[in-house]
Structure 1
Amino acid sequence: MNFLTLARREIRVLSRDPATVVDPAVRLVFKHQGGYATLERAEEAQEEPRFRPYDGHVHGVLYRVTRADFEKLSKREGGYLVQELQVRTYDGAAHTALAFVSNPLFKLPQEVCPTEAYLAKVRDGAADNYLDPGYQAFLSGITTVPSAGLGSEYFNTPSKYMGYSFLVVVGLITLAFFFQH
């Protein structure tokens, strides 16, 4: 959501508009590996969200970029899938948007508090894009944790265990190779 982050990634923004996700069942949660944000539908959740927005809608920014820049951005967003969402800009126009949503392999089983550094970027993005002041207040009320020294609950995703499994398989193959010779 942060315009400066996009600029640093050399993404040229053609236009930007504050918007809300139309479906009230979609909510913002901090369940992506490392404590990053993602969107999830209420019926997918195992528990109530830790942070409930004041108006029941997820607010964000509808950025218009070139296809090439979107592809460049997609390559940088590790562990996310692209999903279509219906959004409505603050001026009332309806759009189909592409949003980055956690790949299930990178999704934490439970919501965590975001890091100070990450949420500062989200808050700055909300302010820079003139999101509703009530939503900005909601973001300001979210509890954060220091960016260093995150516990295992921030990394216990299926991708972590797949990585360990891969290392075990490689180790077994290596052992088998040496025992055959």
Structure 2
Amino acid sequence: MSPLVHSGPRAPLRWAACTCSRDPAFVVDPAVQLVFKHQGGYATLERVEDGGTSAHEKNEPRFRPYDGRVHGVLYRVTREDFEKLAKREGGYVVQELQVQTYDDSQYNALVFVSNPLFKLPQEVIPTEKYLARVREGARDNYLDPAYQAFLSGINTVPGAGLGSEYYNTPSKYMGYSFLVIAALITLAFFFQH
């Protein structure tokens, strides 16, 4: 993640001014893969079971293949700062994953993955603006050059006019269901009087 991502006026954390530490790292479990299946075309992590295929292999769009593990940045922050960040990461839940820093130290890290209510049924192509931030973060944090090459090979789409496939999540239908139920209750109330 780029230090710029969490330094805007609404950001709960100021990475540039933070006394926290950060280290390049990768997910130890090779079955955990980066996929673009979060509402709006954002990234999440998804486990591919033995004998299964990744979203990259079974669904369109197909991205440039990458045999390695998911790379990112391990931030060491205070509990208070983590709680602030967790409140801002709508649509994600926290899971624990084992990660290894580039100096071979291993840690159990808390990571944000898609809440099932905000997870798309099919992988989509990420937007230019979003993937540019991901690539910038990889570059700024000196992630593995092979992983940066993988990120550079991912196709993007303009952010304007995204199709319904970018928002087709269970949360969308729950919202519609709530509106229908509210409308029926309102109608029933008026017909009783």
- Which shows bigger deviation, 46-55 or 89-98? 46-55
How many angstroms apart in 2 are the aligned matches of 1:169 and 1:7? 40
Native 8 Å contact 1:13 1:63 kept in 2: no
Query: Can you list the C-alpha shifts for 1:82-110, whole angstroms capped at 9, x where unaligned?
Result: 00000000010000101000011100000
Q: Which of 107, 123, 145 matches 1:133?
A: 145
Task: Name the residue aligned to 1:75.
Answer: 87
Amino acid paired to 1:6 = H
What amino acid does structure 2 have at the position aligned with 1:36? Y
2:116 matches 1:104: yes
CA contact (8 A) 2:12 2:84 kept: no
Report the CA distance shift for 1:13/1:111 in structure 2 as closer, same or farther (over 3 A): farther
TM-score computed with the length of structure 1 as normaliser: 0.95
Q: Provide TM-score, normalisation by structure 2.
A: 0.89
Q: For 1:48, which of 55, 60, 63 is the aligned residue?
A: 55
- The count of aligned residue pairs is 181
- Give 1:46 deviation, angstroms: 7.5
Flag as ranges the 4+ runs of structure 1 deviating above 6 A.
none
| Correspondences of 1:17-28 after superposition (within 5 Å) | 17-28=23-34
Give the Å deviation of 1:13: 5.2
Partner of 2:40, secondary structure, is: coil
1:176 matched to which residue of 2? 188
The 1-side partners of 2:55 and 2:191 are apart by 52
Unaligned runs of 5+ residues in structure 1 are: none
- For residues 54 and 147 of structure 2, the distance between their equivalents in structure 1, rounded to whole angstroms, comes to 22
Q: Per-residue CA shift, 1:95-146, capped at 9, x if unaligned?
A: 0101000011100000000000000110010011000111111101100000
